């Protein structure tokens, strides 16, 4: 390798050449010359190497120790607190076309721009060369991933969130079949945070299975294996015969039945994804990203590609989230980000106790009443503040969380959020209708969300921000996937946010456990259903028993009727909204036919029953 030994020492060269992979050497050499670090350190799977990264994060002050053993705090900077959608772009070669919702830039133009920004960007800094694996090791799901970064925080985070993959690269035997990610936090301020956020860029190159990302530290922008790898895997899976989804994987365990039934679930932000995956008494395999493949027996298997959780910490408290909260207040390797620290102790929004009036947070030194440059009062912590831990730290981790074969998926949940349209839970008529339901997901804005309250954002499969292939191709791949299965998972839709005329929710937070257990029972043919124009819904008698046995609650016919009545005009309006979006895409005819079929079923039921709102007792 044509790199000065003062920058890349013999030990690191030996670690690289042992892989016998010329493509890896080519990448490291190219970006060392471009970014011009003062030192390059190659990290293997050894505990000694990984411990070096932890120490380096403290040395560079990207992280600081807290009072609790193993806990550290990291700050991303005041203007680097979330995914940067505007500057996340797919590099589009001339002549290629993508859906209009995908943010693109001409590939040649984008590469020229970002490489100019990267030129000399690591001057005076240490470049870390990391090797990871997306999914359990030595699995048919496995995708090796090379991460090059000058951020020890990024490298440390990935140790918590992903499986070490130096050995996986050895097994490649020189193949180029891996993803790679080049990241630089850029120039840092006195707090160890990125300074030049105006030059933040996240460019996705599908031609080379790589992402180039600069001038950021927030994990959604900087950690290659997180949402950046999600986009690369969506591209790969949609050109093959499997699915890459923004889904949790959980084991549902009905009491007294001695079984675990595995479900995946896709929910847009603020629609109940985490709270569903962490329902008491159930087990968790993963909370964010899943690969789904067709197994030898024709069933659907899924793996969590991660081994950790990068979770939102806002509102985590001992009452609503006892398992996670316990992890956050006991010794273990854990990174907090963008919360308040006072006297070595962490504080965050909604933690369920009194918080100090001063300390250090994402804005720097903070006192209650402080305002930012725009005149907005700065809260004690950012609402998107996070914690990073290994999933194995959770008491409810499923024993198959690291199984190379994944888990057999028998149910899929698509969860939306609206106050006046969809029922709390329904089963799709078949796989194709389930794909239609998932691709029609909407999330309603609330008073806690930017924008006007009550507006509905379309989010197919809760994955819109990450789909880098034409929307029609993405949907077609889902339809084909189901047709290739001989053991087809049932598909359900949920809506935990239905309100009555008085503006109050018709469901309690804990009711979701009943909806999920009913869905699990349907997989095993334990409950009869009512067929309606939108799908199969539960019978009152079954829910009445479940509410009593699971929650110790009385469930009345009036509650059931209010929750499971079909609001025909609202459902027709939704069909119109979603159909308009897809009419501008090249979408399979099989999918588009569902609009007219469901519209016709609703109108026929309305005419037959003679009401605008159809009671479940009418069917």
Q: What is the pLDDT of residues 160-175, one digit of tens each?
A: 999 999 999 999 999 9
User: What dotted CATH number matches 310-393?
Assistant: 2.170.8.10
Across 249-257, average pLDDT: 97
271 is catalytic: yes
349-to-65, 362, 552, 606 alpha-carbon distances in Å: 21, 13, 31, 46
Beta bridge partners of 530: 537
Q: How far apart are CA 275 and CA 277, in angstroms?
A: 6
Work out the burial of residue 222: count CB atoms within 10 Å of its CB; fewer than 13 is exposed, 13-18 middle, 19 or more buried: buried
Q: What is the pLDDT of residues 37-83, one digit of tens each?
A: 999 999 999 999 999 999 999 999 999 999 999 999 999 999 999 99
Confidence at 448, pLDDT banded by 50, 70, 90: very low
Q: What is the pLDDT of residues 509-560, one digit of tens each?
A: 899 999 999 999 999 999 999 999 999 999 999 999 999 999 999 999 999 9
The pairing of beta strand 179-184 with beta strand 143-149: parallel
Asked if 513 contacts 279 with a C-beta cutoff of 8 angstroms, the reply is: yes
Q: What is the pLDDT of residues 326-361, one digit of tens each?
A: 999 999 999 999 999 999 999 999 999 999 999 999
225-to-130, 148, 505 alpha-carbon distances in Å: 11, 11, 38
Asked if 532 contacts 423 with a C-beta cutoff of 8 angstroms, the reply is: no
- Residue 269 pLDDT > 90: no
pLDDT at 236 (0 to 100): 98
- Residue 5 pLDDT > 80: yes
Task: Say how many C-beta atoms besides its own lie within 10 A of residue 416's C-beta.
Answer: 28
Across 165-191, average pLDDT: 95
pLDDT at 589 (0 to 100): 97
| CATH architecture assignment, domain 245-307+401-612 | Alpha-Beta Complex (3.90)
Q: How far apart are CA 433 and CA 492, in angstroms?
A: 10
Confidence at 1, pLDDT banded by 50, 70, 90: confident
Across 388-406, average pLDDT: 96
Distant-in-sequence, close-in-space partners of 217: CB < 8 Å, separation ≥ 6:
62, 74, 76, 77, 80, 151, 153, 154, 185, 193, 194
Q: How far apart are CA 3 and CA 21, in angstroms?
A: 17
pLDDT at 100 (0 to 100): 87
Same topology, domains 10-59+84-237 and 310-393? Answer is no
Asked if 492 contacts 516 with a C-beta cutoff of 8 angstroms, the reply is: no
| CATH architecture assignment, domain 10-59+84-237 | 3-Layer(aba) Sandwich (3.40)
For the chain, what percent of residues have pLDDT higher than 70? 98
DSSP 34-60: HH--SEEEE--S-HHHHHHHHHHHHHT
Q: What is the pLDDT of residues 97-150, one digit of tens each?
A: 899 889 999 999 999 999 999 999 999 999 999 999 999 999 999 999 999 999
Confidence at 447, pLDDT banded by 50, 70, 90: very low
pLDDT at 446 (0 to 100): 52
Q: How far apart are CA 56 and CA 153, in angstroms?
A: 9
Q: How far apart are CA 218 and CA 202, in angstroms?
A: 12
Domain borders along the chain are 10-59+84-237, 245-307+401-612, 310-393
Confidence at 444, pLDDT banded by 50, 70, 90: confident
Catalytic residue (choose from 271, 300, 327, 353): 271
Asked if 248 contacts 284 with a C-beta cutoff of 8 angstroms, the reply is: yes
Range with lowest mean pLDDT among 446-455, 523-532, 598-607: 446-455
The SS3 assignment for 155 reads helix
pLDDT at 240 (0 to 100): 95
């Amino acid at each position: 390798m044509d790199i000065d030994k003062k920058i890349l020492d013999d030990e690191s060269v030996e670690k690289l050449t042992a892989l016998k992979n010329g493509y890896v050497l080519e990448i490291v050499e190219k970006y060392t010359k471009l970014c011009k670090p003062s030192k390059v350190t190659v990290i293997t799977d050894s505990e000694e190497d990984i411990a070096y990264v932890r120490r380096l994060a403290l040395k560079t002050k990207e992280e600081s120790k807290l009072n609790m053993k193993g806990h550290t705090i990291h700050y991303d900077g005041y203007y680097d607190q979330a995914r940067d959608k505007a500057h996340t772009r797919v590099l589009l070669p001339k002549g290629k076309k993508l859906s209009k919702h995908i943010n693109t830039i001409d590939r040649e133009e984008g590469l020229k721009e970002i490489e100019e920004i990267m030129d000399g960007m690591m001057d005076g800094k240490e470049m870390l060369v990391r090797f990871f694996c997306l999914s359990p090791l030595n699995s048919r799901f496995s995708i090796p991933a090379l991460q090059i970064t000058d951020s020890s925080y990024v490298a440390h985070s990935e140790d918590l969130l992903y499986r070490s993959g130096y050995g996986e690269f050895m097994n490649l035997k020189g193949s180029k079949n891996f993803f790679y990610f080049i990241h630089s936090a850029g120039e840092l301020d006195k707090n160890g945070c990125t300074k030049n956020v105006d030059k933040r860029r996240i460019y996705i190159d599908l031609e080379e299975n790589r992402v180039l990302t600069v001038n950021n530290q927030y994990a959604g922008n900087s950690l290659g294996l997180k949402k950046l790898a999600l986009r690369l895997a969506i591209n790969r899976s949609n050109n093959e015969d499997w699915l890459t989804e923004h889904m949790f994987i959980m084991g549902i365990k009905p009491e007294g039945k001695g079984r675990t039934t595995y479900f995946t679930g896709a929910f847009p932000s603020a629609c109940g994804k985490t709270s569903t995956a962490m329902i008491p008494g159930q087990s968790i395999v993963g909370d964010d990203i899943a690969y789904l493949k067709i197994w030898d027996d024709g069933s659907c298997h899924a793996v969590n590609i991660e081994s950790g959780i990068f979770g939102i910490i806002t509102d985590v408290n001992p009452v609503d989230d006892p398992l996670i909260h316990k992890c956050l207040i006991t010794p273990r390797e854990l990174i907090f980000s963008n919360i308040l620290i006072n006297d070595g102790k962490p504080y965050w929004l909604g933690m369920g106790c009194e918080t100090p009036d001063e300390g250090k947070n994402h804005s720097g030194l903070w006192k209650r009443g402080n305002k930012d440059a725009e005149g907005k009062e700065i809260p004690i912590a950012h609402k998107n503040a996070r914690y990073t831990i290994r999933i194995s730290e959770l008491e409810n981790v499923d024993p198959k969380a690291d199984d190379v074969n994944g888990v057999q998926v028998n149910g899929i949940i698509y969860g939306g959020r609206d106050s006046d349209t969809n029922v709390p839970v329904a089963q799709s008529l078949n796989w194709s209708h389930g794909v239609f339901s998932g691709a029609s997901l909407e999330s309603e804005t609330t008073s806690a969300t930017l924008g006007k309250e009550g507006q509905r954002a379309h989010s197919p499969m809760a994955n819109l921000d990450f789909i880098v292939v034409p929307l029609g191709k993405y949907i077609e791949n889902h339809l084909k996937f189901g047709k290739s299965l001989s053991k087809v998972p049932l598909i359900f839709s949920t809506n935990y946010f239905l309100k009555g005329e008085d503006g109050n929710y018709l469901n309690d937070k804990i009711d979701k456990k009943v909806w999920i257990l009913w869905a699990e029972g349907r997989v095993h043919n334990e409950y009869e259903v009512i067929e309606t124009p939108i799908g199969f819904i539960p019978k009152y008698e079954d829910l009445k028993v479940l509410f009593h046995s699971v929650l110790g609650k009385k469930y009345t016919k009036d509650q059931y009727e209010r929750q499971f009545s079909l609001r025909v005009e609202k459902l027709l309006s939704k069909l119109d909204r979603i159909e308009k979006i897809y009419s501008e895409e090249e979408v399979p005819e099989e999918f588009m036919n569902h609009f007219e079929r469901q519209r016709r079923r609703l109108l026929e039921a309305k005419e037959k029953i003679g009401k605008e709102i159809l009671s479940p007792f009418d069917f």
